[in-house]
């Protein structure tokens, strides 16, 4: 489905980013996979060997403008930018009664990657996407959607939550301003998905037995992304909830697409 396309995936050394990179390559795209971790090079080699696609692994930090520019220049060398997956994200607990110093340090750490990184990478890509059109996918969280079986917005991760709520502004504004160029902008808003980040939240990295049965797999979310491309909609927050089928679902009414309808 994606033959001849070039995709950029941020934070692709593990977890959801690795699954997105693999799925895009399986669907025929060439992929520029980058991460702050060196191991992204090995992950890229493995995906290239599995799929026969060109998959380039680059060590780069999405919160650094010069790194972002190098990533996009490399993608342009590979043929352009058709798909951008803004996946790189960091998670930290910042209880509201934590120290001023911790709150401000966490603000910089989280926002530089989860929010400013998305701004810089997307802005660097858009000029290259305008001629052919394409897809921007922001990786958000179900916290920005109405609660289903589980509550949203964990109380001790206020900055992480805020960084993902902030993405709503980008998803909504860009989907409107880039529609005339055939650039679709959506967000995937998943609940608990089995990745190193999620395991890091649990003691010894182990899920409680009942939860382990329910937690979603990154491959399910990657398939949801491909289904979203096939659907061709823009400007939506697409949810994925633990215990429910992972699907794109019916299109939302324009005034419901960002707040979401569960
Ligand atoms: N796993 C979940 O349950 C879950 C739920 C909702 C949303 N998310 C979101 O999904 C995305 C991926 O999360 P994950 O669970 O796979 O996490 P993860 O920590 O397992 O993987 C994230 C990857 O991003 C990389 N990264 C972090 N900062 C970076 C930076 N500045 N530049 C480049 N790479 C950077 C990390 O090195 C890591 O390889 C994140 O945006 C996260 O907030 C995850």
Tens digits of residue pLDDT in 78-129 = 999 999 999 999 999 999 999 999 999 999 999 999 999 999 999 999 999 9
Residue 135 · residue 83 · CB < 8 Å: yes
Provide residues with CB under 6 Å of ligand 1: 10-11, 13-17, 35-37, 61-63, 87-91, 113, 117, 139, 141, 190, 192-193, 195-198
Tens digits of residue pLDDT in 187-224 = 999 999 999 999 999 999 999 999 999 999 999 999 99
Is residue 195 in some structural domain?
no
Residue 31 · residue 109 · CB < 8 Å: no
Atom of ligand 1 nearest to the CA of 89: 41
Is residue 38 in some structural domain?
yes
Alpha helices in the chain (DSSP H): 15-26, 40-51, 65-78, 100-111, 117-129, 158-177, 196-201, 209-214, 218-231
Candidates 143, 160, 207, 244; catalytic one: 160
Q: Which residue has a Cα nearest atom 36 of ligand 1?
A: 11
Distance CA 131, CA 126 (A): 9
Based on the residue annotation, tell me whether 160 is a catalytic residue of this protein: yes
> Given 3-state DSSP classes, what are the helix, strand and coil percentages for the chain, each rounded to the nearest 5?
50, 15, 35
Is residue 135 in some structural domain?
yes
Is residue 170 in some structural domain?
yes
Instruction: Quote the crossing angle between the two packed helices 158-177 and 100-111, to the nearest 10°.
Output: 30
Structural domains in the chain (count)? 1
Say what percent of the chain tops pLDDT 90.
90
Confidence bin at 262 (pLDDT 50/70/90): low
3-state secondary structure of 99: coil
- 89-104: b or e for each residue (b if 16 or more CB lie within 10 Å)? bbbeebeeebeeeeee
Q: Tell me phi and psi for residue 83, to 5 degrees.
A: -135, 135
Distance CA 69, CA 72 (A): 5
Q: How far is CA 140 from the centre of its chain?
A: 6
Is residue 55 in some structural domain?
yes
Is residue 80 in some structural domain?
yes
Give the range of the structural domain holding residue 158, as residue numbers without chain letter.
6-190+216-256
The CATH code of the domain that includes 92 is 3.40.50.720
> What's the token pair of residue 258?
């960002």
- Please state the pTM of the whole predicted model: 0.98
Is residue 198 in some structural domain?
no
Is residue 208 in some structural domain?
no
């Amino acid at each position: 489905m994606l033959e001849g396309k070039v995709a950029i995936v941020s934070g692709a050394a593990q977890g959801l980013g690795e699954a997105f990179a693999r799925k895009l390559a399986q669907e025929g795209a060439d992929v520029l996979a980058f991460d702050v971790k060196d191991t992204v090079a090995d992950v890229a080699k493995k995906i290239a060997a599995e799929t026969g696609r060109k998959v380039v692994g680059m060590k780069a930090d999405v919160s650094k403008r010069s790194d972002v520019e190098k990533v996009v220049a490399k993608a342009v060398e590979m043929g352009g930018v058709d798909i951008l997956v803004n996946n790189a994200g960091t998670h930290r607990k910042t209880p509201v009664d934590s120290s001023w110093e911790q709150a401000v340090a966490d603000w910089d750490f989280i926002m530089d990657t989860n929010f400013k990184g998305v701004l810089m990478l997307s802005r660097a890509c858009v000029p290259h996407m305008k001629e052919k059109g394409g897809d921007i996918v922001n990786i958000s969280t179900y916290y920005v959607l109405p609660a289903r079986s589980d509550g949203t917005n964990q109380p001790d991760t206020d900055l992480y939550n805020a960084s993902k709520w902030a993405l709503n502004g980008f998803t909504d504004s860009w989907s409107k301003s880039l529609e005339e160029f055939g650039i679709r902008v959506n967000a995937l808003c998943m609940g608990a998905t089995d990745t190193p980040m999620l395991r890091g939240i649990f003691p010894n990295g182990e899920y409680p037995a009942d939860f382990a049965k329910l937690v979603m797999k990154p491959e399910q979310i990657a398939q949801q992304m491909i289904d979203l491309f096939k659907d061709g909609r823009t400007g939506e927050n697409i949810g994925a909830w633990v215990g429910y089928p992972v699907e794109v679902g019916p299109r939302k009414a324009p005034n419901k697409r960002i707040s979401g309808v569960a």
